[in-house]
Amino acid sequence: MARFYDVDITNPLMLGTALYPSPAILKDAFKVSGAEIATVSLRREQGAGQDFWSLIKSMNLRLLPNTAGCYSVKEAVTTAYMAREVFDTPWIKLEVIGHTDTLQPEPFALVEAARILSEDGFQVFPYMTDDLVLADRLVEVGCRVLMPWGAPIGSGLGLNNVYALKTLRNYFPDIPLVVDAGIGLPSHAARAMELGFDAILLNTAVAKAQDPVKMAQAFSLAIQAGALGYQAGPMEVRDMASPSTPVIGKAWL
C-alpha cells in the first residue's frame, strides 16, 4: 500500500467534494466506496461555509486541501497558508493553473510554489502534467508525491498519454504516483492502477454521474481490480497467438 509522506493509505481512491447533488449523496458516495481521503477547496466556501465543513468533518476523512483556481505562485502560496490554518494539516494539493480553457498546470510556477511550500514544512501534492523533467524538478524541490493528470480536469477523457505515465512509474519507483484529473470511467482508473499507480483522484466522474453513489462503488471496485492486476504481474503482450491447449494431436478430419 502507498505511503503519502508519513501516512499509510489503505484505499487508493481519493474523491473530491464538489458538484454533488447534495451533501447527503456525497456522504453516501464516500461510504460505499471506502474512500478515505477527500480533497477540499478553500477558495469559495471559506469563512461562512461552516455548516458544509462540519458535515465533511463529521465523515472522519483525511482532508487534502487544494489551491484550485489559483493562477500564480503568490495566490497558490497564500491559499496554502490559509488551508493549513483552516484544516490543520501540512498536506496541500498544489494547483497552479496556466491556461483558462484547458486548466492545464503552469509547470514553472508550480515548481516555484512547491519549493516555497516544501521549505516551509508543507507536504506538497503537486497537480502536474505528465512531463518527466517536471516530475524531476518537483522531487528536487521536496515533493514526495506526484499527481500527473490523465487528461484535463473534468474532461473525462481518461489516460491521454499512457506512455508518459508509464515512464513516470519507471523513473520514480519509490515516489507515490496519483493520477489526478481526467478520469471519466472506472476502466480508466483500473488502467492507471494496472500501470502501477498508487492512487486515483477524481471528482466529476462520480459527482456528475446519474447515480453518484453507484459510480463511486464502481470506481472502488475497478481500482481494486487494477491494483490486484498490477500486483499479480501481468503477462507480456505478443503478436503470435499461443493456444492455451495444444493443437497437436487433435482430430483433424
Partner 1 sequence: MRVQVVGAGVAGLCVANELSSRGVEVSLHDTHRPPGPHACSWWAGGMLAPFCEGESAEEPVIRLGTRAASWWQKFTGAVEYKGSLVLSAKRDKNELLRFASMTRQHRWVDHLSIAELEPDLAGHIRQGLYFDSEAHLDPRVALARLVDTLASQGVVCTQEEPLSDILTIDCRGLAAKDTLADLRGVKGEMLILKNPELNISRPVRFIHPRMPLYIVPRGSGVYMLGATMIESSDRSRITARSMLELLSAAYALHPAFAESEVLEIGVDVRPAFPDNLPRIRRRGNRLFINGLYRHGYLLAPALAEMTADYILTHKQPELMDECTI
Among 6, 8, 10, 51, indicate the residue that binds partner 1 (CB under 8 A). Answer: 51
Does the protein bind partner 1 through residue 47 (CB under 8 A)?
yes
Cell numbers for 212: 453518484
Residue 91 C-alpha from the chain's centroid: 14
Among 154, 158, 176, 184, indicate the residue that binds partner 1 (CB under 8 A). Answer: 154
Helix H or strand E segment including 16: strand 13-16
Q: Which of 93, 166, 208, 214 is catalytic?
A: 93
Residue 43 beta carbon to partner 1: minimum distance, rounded to whole angstroms: 9
Nearest to 5 by CA among 137, 76, 69, 93: 93
Interaction pattern, residues 168-207, with partner 1; x per rule: CB under 8 A? ----------------------------------------
Instruction: CB nearer to partner 1: give 54 or 242.
Output: 54
Does the protein bind partner 1 through residue 55 (CB under 8 A)?
yes
Does the protein bind partner 1 through residue 25 (CB under 8 A)?
yes
Does the protein bind partner 1 through residue 81 (CB under 8 A)?
no
73-87 helix and 107-119 helix, angle to the nearest 10 degrees: 40
- Is residue 208 annotated as part of the catalytic site, yes or no? no
Does the protein bind partner 1 through residue 157 (CB under 8 A)?
no
Does the protein bind partner 1 through residue 208 (CB under 8 A)?
yes
Residues at the site binding partner 1, with contacts judged by CB under 8 A: 21-25, 27, 44-45, 47-52, 55, 154, 208, 210
Catalytic residue positions, numbered: 93
